[in-house]
Amino acid sequence: MKDELRAFILDNYLFGQSLKFSDEDSFTETGIIDSTGVLELVAFLEERYSIIVDDEDLLPENLDSINKLTGFLERKGVGQLATAA
């Protein structure tokens, strides 16, 4: 899942640049994603992982790094769906 999220970030926000960032790096603090970009990220998450991102989910604690995204998706049950399939 982390590789897929990283590929999406690289392709859609960094346009394939080889900028290195860790799974802990904040998207907003490093300038990778701005507030408008979050909407595109949410649309990707909802479509790719068949989840609904509620307004109360739109927090940096959920969406501001690869690790935070992974944890958020797991709390939404995405990891459980993958292992059950």
| pLDDT 10s digits, 47-68 | 999 999 999 999 999 999 999 9
| pLDDT 10s digits, 3-29 | 999 999 999 998 867 778 999 999 999
Q: The tokens of 32 are what?
A: 């990778």
- How many helices (H) and strands (E) are present in the chain, helices listed first? 5, 0
Whole-number Å distance between alpha carbons of 11 and 62: 21
Whole-number Å distance between alpha carbons of 58 and 25: 18
Which domains does the chain possess? 2-78 (1.10.1200.10)
- DSSP letters for 48-61: HHT----GGG-SHH
pTM listed for this prediction = 0.86
Instruction: Between 80 and 44, name the one with better pLDDT.
Output: 44
